[in-house]
Amino acid sequence: MGEAGLLYQPNANMNTLDAVLVERLHKNEVAAFDTLYWKYHEAVYRNILKFVKDTGVAEDILQEVFTKLWEKRQEVKTSQSVAGWLFVISFNLSVNYTRKKLREQTLHKKLLALDPGDEQTLDYKAMQEGQYHLLERAIAELSPQRRRIVTLCKLEGKTYDEVANELKISRNTVKEHLSAAMVKLNDYIQKNAEHKYIVLFLLFLHNEL
């Protein structure tokens, strides 16, 4: 089977543990939620902060992300990457904040180049699902090493040094693999995306560590 046919599984042990936690989450176990929060909150916060550039706003969005995780716990599948799910939710909430801020500055429609009526007609749940699966498919196109690096750097929010230490490779090797991976992800997403928000989605992915 070629790489493109592989399921997005950056780390089988991590996915197995998360699957167990999601199963417990489905049973309304607060302890499982707490475990996921402490496992991912720093990475999610860093991704949000890179986008909104405001610590107070980032903290508010972070809390909203995990509030949604609890509220939508029955919708999260055990086969999904929790890191990927949180990434998409945090992206959408960050975009919503940016749209609101721009609207308040009367630059909203010009800067985001939305067509009239887009705000009323968007199916956010469908768009969110589409974003998650698009990201999943794009990452599945990468080599195993690059999938792992993208997951650690972009979804889990780790720094180059942290990833280099974890994978026992040099910092420059991490940067080179990530740079090559982002070129391929950018190409795949642009060719397969259906919505204009994908420009911001790519910006969110490309924020430097």
Task: Give domain status of residue 129, yes or no.
Answer: yes
- Of 132, 95, 135, nearest to 112 by C-alpha is 95
What would the pLDDT profile of 108-128 be if each residue is shown by its tens digit?
454 455 444 444 444 555 566
Percent of the chain with pLDDT over 70: 71
Domain that holds residue 186: 11-206
Q: Cα 19 from chain centroid?
A: 18
Number of domains observed in the structure of the chain? 1
Task: Give domain status of residue 111, yes or no.
Answer: yes
pTM of the complete model: 0.60
Task: Give domain status of residue 146, yes or no.
Answer: yes
Task: Give domain status of residue 6, yes or no.
Answer: no
Q: At what angle do helices 12-26 and 82-104 cross, to 10 degrees?
A: 70
CATH code, 114: 1.10.1740.10
CA separation, residue 41 to residues 45, 47, 134 (Å): 6, 10, 23
Task: Give domain status of residue 4, yes or no.
Answer: no
Q: What mean pLDDT is predicted for residues 37-53?
A: 89
Task: Give domain status of residue 104, yes or no.
Answer: yes
Q: What integer pLDDT is reported at residue 41 of this predicted model?
A: 93
